[in-house]
Amino acid sequence: MSNTKHGKLNFMVRALSSAVLLALLFTANNSTAQVWIASTGTVDDGSLTSFQFTNGAAFLRPTVTNGFAIVRYNVLPVGSLKTVLDQPCCQGRALLVSYIDNGPGSQVLVSLKRYNIRTGKTTTLLKFDSNENPQQTAFHENALNGGAFFNFSFAEGPTEGSNDLGGDSVYYIEAQLIRTAPGGNPGLASIRIVTAEAP
């Protein structure tokens, strides 16, 4: 084999290896992911007249021509959420959302929030925006693309004095279904928090 052909082959192998590495940079550990079905959430009081659950999925009512609904989900210390991540280079947590967004008149936003019971501060740890993902008229789950490195600090008991059991926060997911034009059909079927790991 000539040096030119050998060099091209090596370049192609390196390029293919790099592409495979990038595609596999983060894989989801789904075996112990916490899952929420859309209909298990608590609807915000201000959204009671604008949402509906159909076959376990959340939608806006057809009569809402321009509006939104908010649904929240408690996050509990179960499964992989209790696992301590210790490799910022190679581990993270990510949201996988099964959603419908049929075009510019609809949007689904999902965020994982942390409320620190000591400071009263709320922070957003993970976000999903259907406008940054493919638009579809049937439910599908977003692709895993990275994540954020953090550990949960669940407040599981007393947090003051000698009875302090450690942990300082409670966590919840907030989902918003938004319609900005007639025909927009945002929908939410499920949400998962998964651990993303480099292979």
pLDDT in tens, 73-93: 999 998 889 899 999 988 899
Residue 2 located in a structural domain: no
pLDDT tens-digit map of 145-154: 768 999 999 9
Domain with 110, as residue range(s), is: 28-197
Residue 8 located in a structural domain: no
If we measure between CA atoms, which residue out of 67, 38, 74, 35 comes closest to residue 50? 67
Residue 130 located in a structural domain: yes
Residue 61 located in a structural domain: yes
Residue 18 located in a structural domain: no
- Rounded to 5°, angle at Cα 23 from 112 and 5: 165
Query: What's the domain count of the chain?
Result: 1
Q: How far is CA 35 from the centre of its chain?
A: 10
Residue 36 located in a structural domain: yes
Residue 110 located in a structural domain: yes
What's the rounded Cα separation, in Å, for the pair 81 and 93?
9
User: Per-residue pLDDT averaged across 145-166, rounded?
Assistant: 76
Residue 118 located in a structural domain: yes
CATH number of the structural domain spanning residue 187: 2.60.120
What's the rounded Cα separation, in Å, for the pair 186 and 129?
12
Q: Are 90 and 198 in contact (CB under 8 A)?
A: yes
